[in-house]
Amino acid sequence: MKLLIIGGVAGGASAAARSRRLSEDAQIIVFERGPDVSFANCGLPYYVGGEIAERKKLLVTTPEMLKSRFKLDVRTRSSVEAIDRTAKKIHVRDLSSGREYEETYDKLILAPGAAPLRPPIPGIDLPGIFTLRNLQDVDRIKERVDKGIKQAVVVGAGFIGLELVENFVKRGIATTVVELQDQVLPPFDKEMTTPIVETLLAKGVTVLLGQSADGFEQAPDGLVVRLKSGQRLPAQLVILGVGVRPENKLAVDAGLEVGPRGGIRVNDHLQTSDPNIYAVGDAIEVKDVVSGDPTQVPLAGPANRQGRIAADNIFGRDVRYRGTQGTAIVGVFDRTAAMTGASEKALRRANRPFRKVYVHPTHHAGYYPGAEAMTLKILFHPETGKLLGAQAVGGAGVDKRIDVLSVAVQAGMTVYDLEEMELAYAPQYGSAKDPINMAGFVAGGLLRGDHPQVDVEAVLAAPATERPFLLDVRTPQEFASGHIPGAVNIPVDDLR
């Protein structure tokens, strides 16, 4: 077996290592356009901020190590330019020497990832405007930051954008984030992101929502970012974090099927429309676990697992990829936001029926010192109670709850299963009624009709004169810190 792999980072490196574990004899060649393989993309923002102090820590492995440990032929600075499916060969350009050559294959794995978007905005190519994908990008960004720049603008408040915002602030840079949507972290439901915006503001970040950059200009001391609103933001460093697109050129040129948003089409064995070619990672279209619809989800976990599964299938095992459910997490200063499965807005867009509940527990027993608050939202089917998605924002413990709920979504569990879940408990770790149980109790109670619920949107949508009587049963302090106009406060302990 001669296996060629295009792309040597998350999906490609996983596929290569797994292939060797399954076959000692196969000839395995990995082609990587950049100088590094298997680097830690996810750690890049923290190298800028100094949390990861040494650059070499970002290199998870090296071509030499892959050779000595796995007998892999790793060719860095080697760009694959074309695939000839009929002759089963690829055309390679060695970027160091300029030499061009061909390599034949029995099986081919495409793991080319996704490239950051650079929208065609006037001035986009001016020096000082960066995207972040690899070590070369981070070197350029860090070089600017190390010069002691004063102002940065991050265009796009997604995961990578906000991770960079945090690290710029840690480096003492006055940072503005500009986001087209009216919320940060667009995959989340808006109300779940409010604590993240509050945290950003508290840390001195300027957050401009519902705004977009429509031009960049050179200025005497750096750049000016022009917004559609007319606002002008001075900056010595601009980051574009406005999304990625699958690197599908090779696949498209070779006549492989791609989806409407460009993701390479694969079956559940991760085989493309050519049975000798597999594809994995950010470049592919996957099945959404909840909706069953095709989607694209650029995350490291799925890419790594897909690499392994593609190798399994190539070496004779029958392994199916179950789909991706978009389980993701981000830290923004001392806040954590995490989600899994469908969001409310995705369910609304798809016109799918759902109910939702929110709970606001602490991450461990309230009487034990250090309990941190979180807001947990779950979405579920209105009749069956099947869990469709979950989001949480808070401090410690958010990661654990979303991981448990991610498993529940994948296992097709219902809110009644959440009521019954037996989770590890001691006061410093959780509660005898864990936040997951609490969410299950509230959702189960809603579906059983024990305590009917009106969603806040419905209350707010009613004209002020027709609003129902609103009783706010929180403590006077909580009431004073914010409430719906017209609500009457009788704390729950006084109500009876």
CA–CA gap between residue 28 and residue 472 (Å, rounded): 65
Report the amino acid identity of residue 84.
Answer: D
Hey, which residues between 115 and 144 contact ligand FAD (CB under 6 A)?
132-133
Residue 280 or 379 with smaller CB distance to ligand FAD: 280
DSSP 263-286: PBP--TT-B-SSTTEEE-GGGB-E
CA–CA gap between residue 152 and residue 168 (Å, rounded): 8
By the rule CB under 6 A, 195 interacts with ligand FAD: no
CB of 115 to ligand FAD, least distance (A): 8
Residue nearest to ligand FAD as judged by C-beta position:
281
DSSP strand pairing (78-84 vs 129-130)? unpaired
Report the catalytic residues.
42
By the rule CB under 6 A, 6 interacts with ligand FAD: yes
Q: Which two tokens stand for residue 170?
A: 């840690």
Q: How far is CA 492 from CA 116, 163, 435, 446, in A?
A: 51, 40, 20, 19
Cβ(283)–Cβ(247) under 8 Å? yes
Position among 3, 5, 11, 389 found at the interface with ligand FAD (CB under 6 A): 11
By the rule CB under 6 A, 300 interacts with ligand FAD: yes
CB of 473 to ligand FAD, least distance (A): 39
Position among 3, 4, 10, 213 found at the interface with ligand FAD (CB under 6 A): 10
By the rule CB under 6 A, 112 interacts with ligand FAD: yes
CB of 44 to ligand FAD, least distance (A): 4
Q: What number of CA atoms fall less than 13 Å from residue 192's CA on the CB side? A: 29
Instruction: Determine the interface stretch with ligand FAD among 29-37, 348-356, 372-380, 437-445 (rule: CB under 6 A).
Output: 29-37
Position among 4, 5, 9, 227 found at the interface with ligand FAD (CB under 6 A): 9
Number of residues that bind ligand FAD (CB under 6 A): 32
Cβ(372)–Cβ(362) under 8 Å? yes
Reduced to 3 states (helix: H, G, I; strand: E, B; else coil), residue 222 is strand
Cβ(216)–Cβ(126) under 8 Å? yes
Position among 31, 70, 278, 441 found at the interface with ligand FAD (CB under 6 A): 31
Q: What are the strands, taking DSSP E only, across 258-373?
A: 277-279, 286-287, 294-295, 328-332, 335-341, 355-359
By the rule CB under 6 A, 34 interacts with ligand FAD: yes
Hey, which residues between 69 and 98 contact ligand FAD (CB under 6 A)?
79-80
Hey, which residues between 204 and 263 contact ligand FAD (CB under 6 A)?
247, 250
By the rule CB under 6 A, 404 interacts with ligand FAD: no
CB of 31 to ligand FAD, least distance (A): 5
Strand order, beta sheet including 73-75? 73-75, 27-31, 2-6, 107-110, 277-279
CA–CA gap between residue 124 and residue 129 (Å, rounded): 7
Residue 26 or 82 with smaller CB distance to ligand FAD: 82
Per residue in 170-209, is it b (16+ CB within 10 Å) or e — as a string? ebebbbbbbbebebbbbbbbbbbbebbbebbeeeebebbb
CB of 375 to ligand FAD, least distance (A): 22
CB of 33 to ligand FAD, least distance (A): 4
Contacts of 453 (CB under 8 A, 6+ apart): 355, 357, 446
Position among 1, 26, 42, 126 found at the interface with ligand FAD (CB under 6 A): 42
CB of 341 to ligand FAD, least distance (A): 15
Residue 121 or 303 with smaller CB distance to ligand FAD: 303
Position among 33, 107, 142, 400 found at the interface with ligand FAD (CB under 6 A): 33
Q: Which two tokens stand for residue 391?
A: 């989001």
Position among 5, 74, 149, 160 found at the interface with ligand FAD (CB under 6 A): 160
Which stretch of DSSP H or E encloses residue 380? strand 374-380
Instruction: Determine the interface stretch with ligand FAD among 52-60, 111-119, 429-437, 454-462 (rule: CB under 6 A).
Output: 111-119
Instruction: Determine the interface stretch with ligand FAD among 195-203, 278-286, 397-405, 429-437 (rule: CB under 6 A).
Output: 278-286
Reduced to 3 states (helix: H, G, I; strand: E, B; else coil), residue 118 is coil
CB of 382 to ligand FAD, least distance (A): 31
CA–CA gap between residue 486 and residue 465 (Å, rounded): 10
Instruction: Determine the interface stretch with ligand FAD among 64-72, 174-182, 292-300, 410-418 (rule: CB under 6 A).
Output: 292-300
Q: Which residues would be at the binding site for ligand FAD (CB under 6 A)?
A: 6-7, 9-12, 31-34, 41-42, 44-45, 79-80, 111-113, 132-133, 160, 247, 250, 281-283, 298-301, 303
